[in-house]
Structure 1
Amino acid sequence: MTESLFFALQPDVAAITQINEVTAALRTQHDLSARFISADRLHVTLHFVGDLAAISQEQLDSAHAAAAAIKLPAFDVSFDKVLSFRSAKAERPLVLASSSSMNPLQLFRYELGDSLRRRGIPAEKTTFTPHITLSYDEYKVEEEVLVAPVKWTAREFVLIKSFVGKSRYEVLGRWPLGAA
């Protein structure tokens, strides 16, 4: 797989500034040497669509139609802790996560998945743990509560093409969320 597609939320400029402050503090506090993910690649993954080479134009059009059908209001997201997720690999994902369930985000993801499935695009119904991956590191960071949460109002969602292994994304579509 060289290119994959997924739906995501991206933090706004103020949230990216907050994330940069968190990562700078983590780097100092834990003496982390891993490279942090660049600001233009920070996101909350909603649904993986698939390997671009295996997706037909009709399926891509269906994914766009599924996104366009979403008519939900904007909602707040808030990440108030940092921790390393478990991983079978030596490098663990270091993530921002939330101690709350973020029900509006959970509902939005459910609605998007339902819209995708109705148009023939497989979408996971699995448990969703909202998070933003900051880096991959061998060093394990135990759960820490942030002094101030990273938060923003999600006013749009995007379909991203990831150039796997190249640390590059391209946004293929943007869909607004209604007024909060």
Structure 2
Amino acid sequence: MVVIMEEPDLFGTTPRRVEHRTYFALYPPPDIAVRLERYAQDLTRGRFARRIVSASRLHISLNGLQRGEQLAPEQTEDALLIGEAIRRPPFDLVFDRVQTWDGGREQARRGPAPTVLCCSEPPREAKALYEDLRRRMQEAGMRSGRSAFNPHITLFYAPGRLPTRTLPRPLRLHVDRFCLVHTATGAMRPDYLASWPLKL
């Protein structure tokens, strides 16, 4: 559910929609996140970009809980138990290309399209982590993500399409933990609810 606030405030402005999201995610180290934000700024130089994702919000999404007007305590508790039960080894993600996901006509109706950093060949350990989370969420009666895992980092949103390009020097991220985070429309940074190391 999305809350639509229609009453204007004291200054006559109408607040935008507020949506809460809770999801499992992987995060790059802070120094790499800062480099990625600068890279996004370079890519958008001379172009109209609606929004560049700040370093503190750059992430790789795993499975998400139901979106809504507020945190759902019962789902959050279930997600914490699921995260605690996961046993998977660490792995490396190699991001080797940048592309715009335009989504065709449907995306055009929704607004600016995301330009993302992608992996050509996600490792099976990453897919196994995603599938474990998805299966356990389904067993708990929770909504889960798509069956296929396509790890990516969204860099910015823009109405135009950036030609797909291969990175001359792929970015390798060593992933040794995953997180459960909460964010809301307008928040400057995510709220980290829990973090678990990857180990067998």
TM-score (norm 2): 0.79
What is the 5 A alignment of 1:158-177? 158-177=179-198
Partner Cα separation in structure 2 for residue 92 and residue 53 of structure 1 = 24
- CA–CA distance in structure 2, aligned partners of residues 178 and 147 of structure 1: 32
- Show the counterpart of 2:174: 153
> d(CA) in 2 for partners of 1:32 and 1:160?
31
Deviation string, structure 1 residues 61-103 (Cα, Å, up to 9, x no partner): 1110001000111111111100100231341101001111332
Q: Deviations over 1:39-69 (max 9, x none)?
A: 1100111011112547643322111000100
Corresponding residue of 1:32: 47
* Aligned residue among 95, 99, 106 for 1:83: 99
Q: 2:123 aligns to what?
A: 102
Q: 1:22 aligns with which of 39, 63, 66?
A: 39
Q: CA deviation at 1:14?
A: 4.3
Query: For residue 153 of structure 2, what is the aligned residue in structure 1?
Result: 132
Provide, for residues 1-25 of structure 1, a one-character-per-residue CA deviation record: whole Å limited to 9, x for no partner: 3211111101113432442353243
Is the radius of gyration larger for structure 1 or structure 2?
Answer: 2
3-state SS, counterpart of residue 81 of structure 2: helix
CA distance in 2, matches of 1:92, 1:167: 21
Q: Does 1:42 align with 2:58?
A: yes
Q: How many residues align?
A: 177
RMSD over aligned Cα atoms: 2.1
1:117 CA drift (Å):
2.0
Q: For residues 20 and 58 of structure 1, what CA distance do their matches in structure 2 show?
A: 35
Q: Does 1:120 align with 2:141?
A: yes
- Matching of residue 71 in structure 1 with residue 92 in structure 2: no
Separation in 2 of the partners of 1:23 and 1:51? 27
Per residue, is there more strand in 1 or in 2? 1
Which residue number corresponds to residue 15 of structure 2?
Answer: none
Q: Are the counterparts in 2 of residues 7 and 45 from structure 1 also a CA contact under 8 Å?
A: yes
Structure with the larger RCO, 1 or 2 (CA within 8 Å, 6+ apart): 1
Tell me by how many angstroms 1:116 deviates.
1.9
- The answer as to whether partners of 1:116 and 1:122 remain within 8 angstroms in 2 is yes
Query: Helix, strand or coil: the match of 1:50?
Result: coil
1:149: Cα distance to partner?
Answer: 1.4
Instruction: In structure 2, give the amino acid aligned to 1:132.
Output: I
Question: By how many angstroms is 1:109 displaced?
Answer: 0.3
Residue 26 (structure 2) pairs with residue 9 (structure 1):
yes
Which runs of 4 or more aligned residues in structure 1 lie more than 3 Å from their structure 2 counterparts after TM superposition?
52-56, 165-168
Q: What SS does structure 2 have at the residue aligned with 1:93?
A: strand
Show the 5 A alignment for 1:41-60. 41-53=57-69, 56-60=72-76
| Offset, 1:128 | 2.3
* TM-score, with length taken from structure 1: 0.87
| Structure 2 residue ranges without an equivalent (≥5) | 3-18
